[in-house]
Every structure is written in structure tokens, then in C-alpha cells.
């Protein structure tokens, strides 16, 4: 029998949290509810949920800050809930490591559908090509599920990325985007292709969300000393290639 999937709901409104609990009432799901940011972080450390449904406006550290701190120790999927429909709130939520967002009022069925869609695409790198011993244009992939493009090395099993031997912290989405780009170095991938690789078949993100995550990924690589590796091809998408020269 498959283990229960742990879902942590962070919502201070009892009526909304009750609706969420009803929406997630499934024998395969185990749901816990907390009402503030401090308890959310403590519960996430102790209980280790697979999914976190996180309201933006909660007491204590707000949803954005909780998401930032959560990403330091947790690989859980994060669905951000917000009562503000402005695009900036959605993009800010995604930029701190959220995988998806819903604006209030939302359909309980829609929330359940989003959770189920996430759980159908686990981050096990199963979609990565199995013939690891091939040489690719501008990068290498070996039989130990490790690959390198320039000074960037990716451990597909450990979900770790390093630049010149120093680990850098990426969110799940950023890691998936980087893997997608390095599957065929120098090849341009469209935003639709990147959305498919990072979010699966469901349309959980738009072009702006892809751009935000790509911007964060490039910033982290730049800060680690690998500048200019990911480039934007106007009107087409993105590609990755090692820099020429020293």
C-alpha cells in the first residue's frame, strides 16, 4: 500500500481552512492545518510534507517569507493562495519558490486538481534520457546520472547543482528548467517546451512565470561565477551553452 501523501495547509481563516480540508478529503492524503507562519515552518521541519498549501496573508512571517525559508530545507511542492489578483503578487510568489498559485475565491475542485497534477509528476528525473553515456554538443552526460556544461555540474539523482565545485541552491522549478536546457545544450527551447518540462501537462504557469524562474536561475548562476551561459533568443525561447574562452 502506498504511503499517505502529507499536505500541510497554512491558513488562518477557519472557514477557508475547513473548505480546503474538505477538498482534500481523500484516503490517500493526510492533511494538517496551521494558522501562522512560525507554526508552518516548525511543522514543515518536523512533519516533512510533500505539498504545502500556503496563504499569502498569514500572521507572523507572511506567505512569501515562509516560502523563502521553506526553500532552505524543504523540497515540497508549494501552492500559494492569495486574495490579491494583481499579476505582481503572482509573480513574486513564484519567484520565491512557489510552484503554483490560486486566487481567492477558488474552487475546491480546482485546488484538488492542482495537487493531483503535481503528485502525478514527481521530481524523480524519470523523464531524463537513459542513455547517459552520450556526448552532447557543448555538454557531457555520464552513466552516474551526472552531467556538466562548462563549469556547471548537475547531479540528477541528488538534485544538486554546483559551479566550480561549489553547490548552489535551486528550487525544484529552477532545477527542472536547468535540466531541460542541458538535455540538448545549445538547442533553443521555447517557453511552451520549458513549461511542459517544469510544470507537466497542466497549464500551471504562463510566459511571465517561466521568465521569472529563468531570471532567478540565471541570477544564481551569475552569482556563482558562471555568467552569460543561459541566453534569451528573442521571439523563440532560451538556450544554454558554455562560454568560449577563459
Assess contact for 74 and 54: CB atoms under 8 A: no
pLDDT higher for 222 or 209?
A: 222
Task: Tell me the mean pLDDT in the region 125-138.
Answer: 36
What pLDDT is stored for residue 246 in this prediction?
A: 47
Per the model's pLDDT, the better-predicted residue between 14 and 119 turns out to be 14
Please state which of the four CATH numbers 3.40.50.2300, 3.20.20.540, 2.102.10.10, 3.20.20.80 is assigned to the domain occupying 5-119: 3.40.50.2300
C-beta pairs of 225-234 under 8 Å, 24+ apart in sequence: 225/151, 225/163, 225/164, 226/150, 226/151, 226/152, 226/163, 226/164, 229/149, 229/150, 229/152, 230/181, 233/188
More confident residue, 195 or 38: 38
The predicted pLDDT at position 145 comes to 78
- As a dihedral over the C-alpha atoms of residue 161, residue 126, residue 186, residue 211, rounded to 10 degrees, the angle is -70
Distance CA 138, CA 187 (A): 10
- Average the pLDDT over 172-192 and give the result: 89
Nearest to 115 by CA among 150, 77, 82: 77
pLDDT > 80? residue 134: no
Question: Residue 105 — very low, low, confident or very high, per pLDDT cuts 50/70/90?
Answer: confident
Mean pLDDT of 226-234: 90
Lowest pLDDT segment from 43-47, 88-92, 99-103, 206-210: 88-92
**Could you read off the pLDDT of 7-19 as tens digits, one per residue?**
999 999 999 999 9
The CATH T-level fold of domain 135-240 is Arc Repressor Mutant, subunit A (1.10.10)
| Average pLDDT in the chain | 82
Residue 36's alpha-carbon distances to 41, 131, 155, in angstroms, are: 9, 47, 35
DSSP of 234-246: TTTEEEE-PPS--
Which position has the higher pLDDT, 202 or 60?
A: 60
> Is pLDDT of 142 > 50?
no
The answer to whether domain 5-119 and domain 135-240 are alike in fold is: no
Please tell me what DSSP assigns to residue 48. -
Question: What confidence tens digit (pLDDT) does each residue in 22-66 have?
Answer: 999 988 999 999 999 999 999 999 999 999 999 999 999 999 899
pLDDT confidence tier of residue 235, bands split at 50, 70 and 90 = confident
> Is there a contact between 99 and 70 (Cβ–Cβ < 8 Å)?
no
User: Domain map of the chain by residue range?
Assistant: 5-119, 135-240
Short-list 173, 242, 184, 243, CA closest to 214: 173
Amino acid at each position: 500500500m502506498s504511503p499517505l501523501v502529507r499536505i500541510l495547509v497554512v491558513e488562518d481563516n477557519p472557514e477557508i481552512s475547513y473548505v480546503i480540508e474538505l477538498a482534500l478529503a481523500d484516503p490517500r492524503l493526510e492533511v494538517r492545518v496551521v494558522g501562522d507562519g512560525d507554526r508552518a515552518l516548525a511543522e514543515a521541519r518536523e512533519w516533512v510534507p510533500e505539498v504545502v498549501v500556503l496563504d499569502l496573508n498569514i500572521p507572523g512571517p507572511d506567505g512569501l517569507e515562509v516560502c523563502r525559508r521553506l526553500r532552505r530545507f524543504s523540497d515540497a511542492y508549494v501552492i500559494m493562495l492569495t486574495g490579491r489578483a494583481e499579476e505582481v503578487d503572482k509573480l513574486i510568489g513564484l519567484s520565491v519558490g512557489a510552484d503554483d498559485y490560486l486566487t481567492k475565491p477558488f474552487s475546491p475542485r480546482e485546488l484538488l486538481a492542482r495537487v493531483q497534477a503535481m503528485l502525478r509528476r514527481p521530481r524523480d528525473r524519470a523523464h531524463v534520457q537513459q542513455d547517459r553515456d552520450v556526448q552532447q554538443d557543448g555538454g557531457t552526460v555520464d552513466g552516474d546520472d551526472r552531467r556538466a556544461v562548462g563549469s556547471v555540474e548537475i547531479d540528477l539523482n541528488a538534485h544538486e547543482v554546483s559551479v566550480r565545485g561549489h553547490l548552489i541552491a535551486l528550487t525544484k522549478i529552477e532545477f527542472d528548467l536547468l535540466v531541460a536546457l542541458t538535455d540538448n545544450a545549445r538547442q533553443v527551447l521555447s517557453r511552451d517546451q520549458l513549461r511542459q518540462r517544469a510544470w507537466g501537462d497542466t497549464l500551471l504557469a504562463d510566459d511571465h512565470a517561466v521568465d521569472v524562474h529563468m531570471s532567478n536561475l540565471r541570477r544564481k548562476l551569475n552569482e556563482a561565477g558562471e555568467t552569460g551561459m543561459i541566453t534569451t533568443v528573442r521571439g523563440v525561447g532560451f538556450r544554454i551553452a558554455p562560454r568560449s574562452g577563459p
